[in-house]
Amino acid sequence: MDFVDLQKLFPGISTLTEASTTICIGRLALIGIGILLIYLGKKGVLEPLLMIPMGLGMIAVNAGVLVLDPTSAQIMAEGRVGASAHGTLLMAPLVQQTDGLMYTLQIDFLQPLYTFAFSNGLIACLVFMGIGVLLDVGFVLARPWLSMFLALCAELGTIAGFPLAVALGLDYREAASIAMVGGADGPMVLFTSLSLARHLFVPITVVAYLYLGLTYGGYPYLIRLLIPAKLRGLKMPPKPAARITSDEKLAFVVVACVVLCLLFPAAAPLFLSLFVGVAVREVGLGHFAAFLEGPVLYGATLFLGLVLGVLCEASTILEPKILLLLVIGILALLLSGVGGIIGGYIAYVCSGRKINPVIGIAGVSCVPSTAKVAQKEVSRVTPDALILPEALGANISGVITSAILSGIYVALIPLLP
């Protein structure tokens, strides 16, 4: 058997040797990162629900490259500069022409999911419906000012990330899209980048979800760095929490949905999805609630992770701006964490040293990861200290403030000269 036959027999390996050095190294590095994500997900350092499918998708898309026949290669790689005849049978995110799309829909098994559920934001909305069912808005209604204040402080990175990105050379639309990573809210980033910077949608979304995993593993260190153990273990005096009835919660959902959709029509799909979930919970539609919080939420998260992993193809991800996006993304997320903790300190001082400053980090709207991280860090110092109700209030408010900022960016940025 000569070498040519072997190349045909193992196209995954032969495409690796035929590709440019950059693509070859990129593919190998991304396979390595995929394995790392699975390892860190298994260890619980990163969010396993997202990282396991994402890591496997990343491995498959960079290992399973084959030589496509010239016609299909041209169709599947259309729009990609310097496209070769190499490709995968998983997904072709850059296809735009109808003919190419019809072709890939019939060939690539994840293409229907990407075209009909990912790129239009449906999968993000499904995640939001599931999250809505899990949310108890009573935590926010019990302490609306504190919750919204903390959430606003935790948007520091989302706001400061914009001029930072502009200073580093991105245009306004790209800068706003990457700044949204500071909100640590995947669906919002997806939605904003789709609305403002469609050409950077893939790398920005990948960067955002990679970093969302990092909040789970990185924020505990930030908390330990910025808040001394004595304050972290502060027990909050049990406040006789006002009992919020489901009627009150439903009234809030209806009014908030009307007001927020009126103010930010661009973010209406996300508001609708979130509030549908909350309304289903509060009205007591048990079957709907079970469906949304089970199959819909977990199904959407699984396929979201899988699509995100497959999006990490070397030729797509080696976008020249990716390094810049990685730097701005991590800075935005770091600033948001710091902003949340500053908010926590302000609340601690203003409340006469009664509020545990750790709850500030829960203002970063990665529901419910940041609230869980806050409670975990407090429990490490004082096992019987409970801050979860207040942390969840700030966490839910974080979703609202992220949606507000997404709406502002989508409405305001196109008006800039």
Partner 1 sequence: MKTALTATLVIAVLATVLSLSVAGLMHLLFIAVRRVQGRSRSGR
Which residue ranges make up the site for partner 1 (CB under 8 A)?
Answer: 140-141, 144-145, 147-149, 151-152, 155, 159-160, 162-163, 166-167, 172, 175, 242, 244-245, 247-248, 251-252, 255-256, 259-260, 263, 397, 400-401, 404-405, 408-409, 412-413, 416-417
First to last CA, the chain: 63
Give me the least distance between CB of 400 and partner 1, in Å please. 6
Give me the least distance between CB of 255 and partner 1, in Å please. 6
Number of H helices, E strands in the chain: 23, 2
Give me the least distance between CB of 251 and partner 1, in Å please. 5
Nearer to partner 1, 20 or 351 (CB): 351
Give me the least distance between CB of 346 and partner 1, in Å please. 14
Q: Nearest Cα to 118, choosing from 128, 106, 110, 130?
A: 110
With 0-12 / 13-18 / 19 or more C-beta atoms within 10 angstroms meaning exposed / middle / buried, residue 380 is: middle
Q: What is the largest CA-CA distance in the chain?
A: 81
249, 278 in Cβ contact below 8 A? yes
Nearer to partner 1, 122 or 166 (CB): 166
224, 377 in Cβ contact below 8 A? yes
Nearer to partner 1, 223 or 335 (CB): 335
Give me the least distance between CB of 145 and partner 1, in Å please. 5
Give me the least distance between CB of 392 and partner 1, in Å please. 15
Nearer to partner 1, 5 or 247 (CB): 247
Structure tokens at 150: 């903390």
Give me the least distance between CB of 242 and partner 1, in Å please. 8
User: What residue type is assigned to position 170 of the chain?
Assistant: L
Q: Give the β-pairing of 66-67 and 86-87.
A: antiparallel
Nearer to partner 1, 59 or 152 (CB): 152
161, 328 in Cβ contact below 8 A? yes
Q: How far is CA 276 from the centre of its chain?
A: 20
Give me the least distance between CB of 148 and partner 1, in Å please. 4
Nearer to partner 1, 32 or 169 (CB): 169
DSSP codes, 133-175:
HH--THHHHHSHHHHHHHHHHTTHHHHHHHHHHHHTT--HHHH
Nearer to partner 1, 167 or 225 (CB): 167
226, 338 in Cβ contact below 8 A? yes
Integer Cα distance of 369 and 372 in angstroms: 5
Nearer to partner 1, 28 or 283 (CB): 283
Local structure of 344: helix, strand or coil: helix
